[in-house]
Amino acid sequence: MSKKNTGKIGVLLVNLGTPDTPETPDVRKYLREFLLDKRVIDINPVGRFFLINGVIAPFRAPKSAVVYKQLWTERGSPLLYHGIDLKEKLQASLGDDYFVSFGMRYQKPSIKSALEELREQSVDRIIVFPLFPQYASASTGSAHDKIMEIIKDWWIIPSINFISNFCNDPGFIESFAELGRKHMQEEEYDHVMFSYHGLPERHILKGSDHGYCKLGSCCNSYNKRNQYCYRASCFETSRQLAAALGLREDQYSVAFQSRLGKDPWLQPYTDEVLKTFPEKGIKKVLAFSPAFVADCLETTIEVGEEFKEMFEHAGGEKWQLVESLNSNDTWVEAVKQIILKN
């Protein structure tokens, strides 16, 4: 081992993934890998295989490709280049005692390639930081699962620390609040919407602590029994953000987006809630997507454009998306502090 590598701490940043290009074949390839994950669609493996390969991927890929083309920039996929920017800024901030790598759960750069970078650096230990603020088996759990699957074959396995949840981390909350305040200084909004990616209700119940979860008032407080409940974490993030923004309880709503299939998903649904706002006199809405730390299809397109169109069609006047944290300096510092704590 070279002297300069001795004692280095490895940091592995992980995000969900993105197609290599917005063309239909690459989108289909991404969807297949993503949706075949047993933690994402938790049904019989044979049924899952035929559902994804025979129905969802063939029919959804062309439609998704159209949307990805709207999202794509000269630098490519925002989820990818924001992740690379975050990695580079974090590396500069942490200094030479750390080595930061970045991988995607699905597609490129892969988690395996990111882990190989750390192994080549002969790091003493690894801090795994999935960039999902609220724990879910389908996101954080899947990333941890994949990492353990890869590392189990290493002859030498260093100490590994997994960060599973940072839904109420002060730096994370302040990073989003800072962005929200800028918009609130420029415009007076009638209401704030916190929209989170949805999950099937069965995912929440499967992870419940001995039946604690009732998909209701059990999420009104955040405690040891529901600290890994995605729904409870979303409400906790919302309460903390609302407090940081000086909002009363009646000045914000929490809802869930991006549902798939016929099974019940976490409610209320964002697309249904926003349509009721104008009749209540809510004509100007500031919308956050606090489940995502980097802009992507679900933020820029779904919340930023599709929900805006729905809201205006229902009689709303202004729907403003708060951009995600991406690689802004406040967020980079927050990530650094989370790493140093771990």
The token pair that represents 103 in the structure block: 């991988």
191 labelled ligand-binding: no
Alpha carbons within 13 A on the beta-carbon side of 173: 20
Question: What phi and psi, each to the nearest 5 degrees, are found at residue 206?
Answer: -65, -30
d(CA 52, CA 30): 11
- Extract the tokens encoding 142: 């899947």
Residue 173, classed as helix, strand or coil, is helix
298 in a labelled binding site: yes
Burial letters for 78-114: b for 16+ Cβ neighbours within 10 Å, e otherwise?
bbbbbbebbbebbbeebeeebbbbbbbbbbebbbeeb
Element (H, E) at 92: helix 78-94
Our separate counts of H helices and E strands in the chain read 12, 8
Phi-psi region of 54 (alpha: psi -120 to 50; beta: other; left: phi over 0): alpha
From CA 182, how far away is CA 288, in angstroms rounded? Answer: 13
Please state, as a whole number, how many other Cβ atoms lie within 10 Å of the Cβ of residue 158.
15
DSSP element (H, E) containing 197: strand 191-197
Listing from the earlier edge strand, what are the strands of the sheet with 284-288?
252-257, 191-197, 284-288, 318-321
In sequence order, the 6+-apart residues with CB closer than 8 A to the CB of 161 are 125, 126, 127, 128, 342
Residue 72 CB neighbours (<10 A): 15
**Residue ranges for the binding site?**
197, 298
**Residue ranges for the binding site for Fe(2+)?**
197, 298
